Amino acid sequence: MQIQPPTGGKPSGRDGAGQNAGPETSEQKRVSPVYVRLRAVMAAARYHGIDLDIRDFAAEPGEAAPSPASLVRWLRAQGAVAKGMRLRWRYIVKLGYTPPIVLLFRDGSAGLMVRSDPEKGIIWLRDPLKGEGEPPVPVDELRVRQLWTGDAVLIKRRSDESEADANFDIYWFAKMVMREKQGLRDIVFTSMVMSILQIFPALIVMQVIDRVVNYHSMATLVSLSGFIIILTLYEILLTYARQELTLVVTTRLDARISLHAFNRLLALPLEFYEREQVGEVLGRFAAIFKVRDFMTGQALNVILDAFVLLTILPVLFFMSSTLAWLTLLAAGGIGLIVVIMLPAMTRLSGKRVRAEMQRGATLYETIAGIRTVKTLALEATRQAEWDERVANVIRWRLASMRIANWSNTLVMPLNLFINRGVILIGAYLVITDSNTMQGGALTAFMMLGGRVAAPLVGLARLMETFNEVSVSLGEAGAVLNQPTETHALTHGMRPPIKGALSFSHVNFSYPGSTNKALADVNFEIPAGTMLGLVGRSGSGKSTITRLLQGVSRHYEGYLRLDGVDLREINLHYLRRSFGVVLQDNFLFRGTIQDNITAGRPGFTLEDVIRAARLAGAEEFIERMPAGYETWIEEGSTNISGGQRQRLAIARAVISDPKLMILDEATSALDPESEALVNANLKHLAKGRTMVIVSHRLSSLVDCDQIAVMDQGRAIDIGPHAVLLERCDVYRTLWHQQNRHLEERPAHDEAHQGEQPVGEA
């Protein structure tokens, strides 16, 4: 969906929130209702100190006007607590003075309710497009009913320690489960009813044997049969209901956990991913699904079975306390065995989980690097590594399974005793002393006793699995509980950006490294500068661009953008103000057009074509049979490196960023493509600040300023001609690369000199 701002220009503008409330009023007729709705939400969020960017809003497909759900998602992503609700007039008119509530109107727009008067039956609405200074307008019930759909969005600022930032641990999971209170309550209720229903058949059998069989009473048999049929029907229905309820609850839980975990993954800083092996991160992330399976499968079942225990035990005691005690004793023995075996099991299952993760990492690495593996014929080494990993997994799995087998075997006699031994003792009791127990009770005990053993053994098993799960949880936590960028992404200023940059006394080393990647860097450039960065490999050029984008934020000194400390700026906003092209760019699967817009809303085909033209990509795209609809395969295998690079430039430039970074963007290109891109650089640079890192100095000759980096220091900055004169490092680099230019004339002369000799 496209959002039309009142001025009709580009869809979103760079103005962020609430800065262009002025000139719109005269043009209100042209404003689309959808835009008004978004502005209403932005104004309400602003009241709580949350600045929203209209470009972050993503409508759901097929939505005519932003639904409460998509508005809430937008708000939550920016750190607000938001809730879409259906409210009644009765309720809102009682509120009095209130933080702005967004009332969604039927025409797709919205109003901001700021106050109400229950006596007079009036609420006050503020125009979302007008500033806060404008007085709100009083509206009565009749008018509100005409306008309002009944939907409202409530917004609040999130207190910092919230669920989204909470650590992923067993408490977090438990809290998630508890949020399904209502569903869980129903499940527990049906389970309890079911376990009570399960007792009756046993009691009835007891009656049948004692009365019907012993006294040949046909009438009792008939009525008991009817009773049993009814009970059976109930039990079937309840089983169905419980299964259905469990399904709903677990599915909802599943969705919520997956969502949260993925959000967390996205909020982790780039630095984290650079430090960690991707394969291991994936493995660890997958571990949370083990936890989820456990929580919603086994754990839930065991808890439900425990209810069965609660209802059945009293009945067992009622039938025969001796047998009941024996059963409990045996069950206690089972518990004891499991507890004793537990430490060994924990150790082994931990080793197993870790071995499995390493195996996953090797698999991932091999597949991701398959090109290198094949071209360097590394199959044998990879195979060897894989074999070792697999052997490791097998060893620990065998060991942990073996110990599980041992504990099962030890438990088995007790388990069998509950099922069979108790019966024999019961039979003995019946024979020797028929006052304490009768044949019917014994049979009933036989039917119910087995049900005691199952939950108890389940409980013991649960502890076994719980171990494995807590190891998994630890692994997942090692990834997901890393400090995130959430705060920086959702807080901070969104100043209008022009593009002046200044570094003052910037020092930086990468985490875990003692060497300074940047050492006391000082320079500044005005907005609109085309800045070249040169220097030997490892001199800190890419590091400079990383600091600019806020990838690494733990530097000393000050880095300012238009005079504002970079750390004060909202990270989302900052990164969006940059267009970045690297040496190796990732294109997503999809059409060329999709790749240029990269899924950002609000771009038309014209925007795409304009960007492609700027990037020098228009010509080759149009030559393709499907043009902008050409499908790009995974890993962009069906286009050339040069084409991919130009698409990446188009993707970076389409949002018209005020700052652009090209880090070795053309070094992998053939001379022709490089010349094409370089010829466009001047065009690209118009109206923005460009930072170009390149090994080929000749492509930087036209830069306004060139900064020379050496071992993390910016040793000089100036235009090409000046540097050539005064900077030794630059001169050396230049001469190294352009020796052929200088030598050719000399060479040619020598050649010419030789010629006559040869001819002679």
The DSSP annotation for 87-153 comes to --HHHHTT--S-S-EEEEETTS-EEEEEEEETTTTEEEEE-TTS-TTSPPEEEEHHHHHHHEEEEEE
- Per CB under 6 A, which of residues 440..469 are in contact with ligand ATP? none
Q: How far apart are CA 154 and CA 102, in angstroms?
A: 7
Please enumerate in sequence order all residues whose Cβ is within 8 A of that of 479, keeping only pairs 6 or more positions apart, or say none.
265, 268, 276, 281, 284, 285
Could you tell me if 473 and 171 are in contact, meaning their C-beta atoms sit under 8 angstroms apart? no
| 628 DSSP assignment | G
Report which residue's Cβ sits closest to Mg ion: 542
**Interface with ligand ATP (CB under 6 A), residue from 78, 311, 407, 539:** 539
**Interface with ligand ATP (CB under 6 A), residue from 78, 407, 543, 678:** 543
Q: Could you tell me which of 270, 244, 194, 171 has the C-alpha nearest to residue 549?
A: 270
Q: How far apart are CA 117 and CA 129, in angstroms?
A: 24
Q: Does 131 bind ligand ATP (CB under 6 A)?
A: no
Q: Measured from the CB of residue 578, what is the shortest distance to ligand ATP in angstroms?
A: 17
611 dihedral zone (left: phi>0; alpha: psi -120 to 50; beta): alpha
| Between 362 and 645, CB nearer to Mg ion | 645
- Per CB under 6 A, which of residues 268..287 are in contact with ligand ATP? 274
Number of residues that bind ligand ATP (CB under 6 A): 13
Q: How far apart are CA 479 and CA 498, in angstroms?
A: 37
Amino acid at 216: H
| Between 308 and 521, CB nearer to ligand ATP | 521
| Between 25 and 507, CB nearer to ligand ATP | 507
Number of residues that bind Mg ion (CB under 5 A): 1
Q: Measured from the CB of residue 404, what is the shortest distance to ligand ATP in angstroms?
A: 43
Q: Could you tell me which of 314, 328, 324, 330 has the C-alpha nearest to residue 436?
A: 324
Q: How far apart are CA 446 and CA 455, in angstroms?
A: 16
Return the structure tokens found at 83.
């809730």
Q: Does 538 bind ligand ATP (CB under 6 A)?
A: yes
| Between 311 and 542, CB nearer to Mg ion | 542
| 208 DSSP assignment | I
**Interface with ligand ATP (CB under 6 A), residue from 66, 532, 540, 550:** 540
Instruction: Give the one entry of ligand ATP, Mg ion, none that residue 27 binds, where binding means its C-beta sits below a cut-off of 5 to 8 angstroms depending on kind.
Output: none
Please enumerate in sequence order all residues whose Cβ is within 8 A of that of 223, keeping only pairs 6 or more positions apart, or say none.
none
Q: Does 535 bind ligand ATP (CB under 6 A)?
A: yes
Q: Measured from the CB of residue 586, what is the shortest distance to ligand ATP in angstroms?
A: 18
Return the structure tokens found at 139.
């509206």
Instruction: Give the one entry of Mg ion, ligand ATP, none that residue 543 binds, where binding means its C-beta sits below a cut-off of 5 to 8 angstroms depending on kind.
Output: ligand ATP
Q: Does 699 bind ligand ATP (CB under 6 A)?
A: no
| Between 542 and 705, CB nearer to Mg ion | 542
Q: Measured from the CB of residue 736, what is the shortest distance to ligand ATP in angstroms?
A: 14
Amino acid at 275: R
Instruction: Give the one entry of ligand ATP, Mg ion, none that residue 513 binds, where binding means its C-beta sits below a cut-off of 5 to 8 angstroms depending on kind.
Output: ligand ATP
| Between 467 and 543, CB nearer to ligand ATP | 543
**Interface with ligand ATP (CB under 6 A), residue from 542, 643, 645, 673:** 542
Distance from first CA to last CA of the chain, Å, rounded? 80
* Region binding Mg ion by CB under 5 A among candidate stretches 135-143, 473-481, 541-549, 572-580: 541-549
| Between 315 and 533, CB nearer to ligand ATP | 533
Instruction: Give the one entry of ligand ATP, Mg ion, none that residue 2 binds, where binding means its C-beta sits below a cut-off of 5 to 8 angstroms depending on kind.
Output: none
C-alpha distances in Å from residue 78, one per residue of 50, 82, 84, 561, 576: 8, 10, 16, 23, 15
Q: Measured from the CB of residue 543, what is the shortest distance to ligand ATP in angstroms?
A: 3
Q: Measured from the CB of residue 79, what is the shortest distance to ligand ATP in angstroms?
A: 28
* Region binding Mg ion by CB under 5 A among candidate stretches 338-346, 378-386, 542-550, 683-691: 542-550
Question: How big is the CA angle at 513 (ends 508 and 519), to the nearest 5 degrees?
Answer: 30
DSSP helix/strand/coil, 276 = coil
* Region binding ligand ATP by CB under 6 A among candidate stretches 222-230, 368-376, 490-498, 537-545: 537-545
Could you tell me if 545 and 552 are in contact, meaning their C-beta atoms sit under 8 angstroms apart? no
The neighbour count for residue 538, using CB atoms within 10 Å, is 13
Q: Does 532 bind ligand ATP (CB under 6 A)?
A: no
- Per CB under 5 A, which of residues 355..394 are in contact with Mg ion? none
Instruction: Give the one entry of Mg ion, ligand ATP, none that residue 535 binds, where binding means its C-beta sits below a cut-off of 5 to 8 angstroms depending on kind.
Output: ligand ATP
| Between 323 and 544, CB nearer to Mg ion | 544
* Region binding ligand ATP by CB under 6 A among candidate stretches 75-83, 530-538, 556-564, 604-612: 530-538
**Interface with ligand ATP (CB under 6 A), residue from 71, 323, 330, 517:** 517
The beta-carbon contacts of 404-407 under 8 Å, at least 24 apart in sequence, are: 404/345, 404/464, 406/341, 407/337, 407/338, 407/341, 407/345, 407/464
Amino acid at 398: L
Instruction: Give the one entry of Mg ion, ligand ATP, none that residue 540 binds, where binding means its C-beta sits below a cut-off of 5 to 8 angstroms depending on kind.
Output: ligand ATP
Q: Measured from the CB of residue 518, what is the shortest distance to Mg ion in angstroms?
A: 13
Cα 351–chain centre separation: 28
Instruction: Give the one entry of ligand ATP, Mg ion, none that residue 251 binds, where binding means its C-beta sits below a cut-off of 5 to 8 angstroms depending on kind.
Output: none
**Interface with Mg ion (CB under 5 A), residue from 296, 407, 443, 542:** 542
Query: Which residues of this protein are in contact with Mg ion, per CB under 5 A?
Result: 542
Query: Which residues of this protein are in contact with ligand ATP, per CB under 6 A?
Result: 274, 510, 513, 515, 517, 535, 537-543
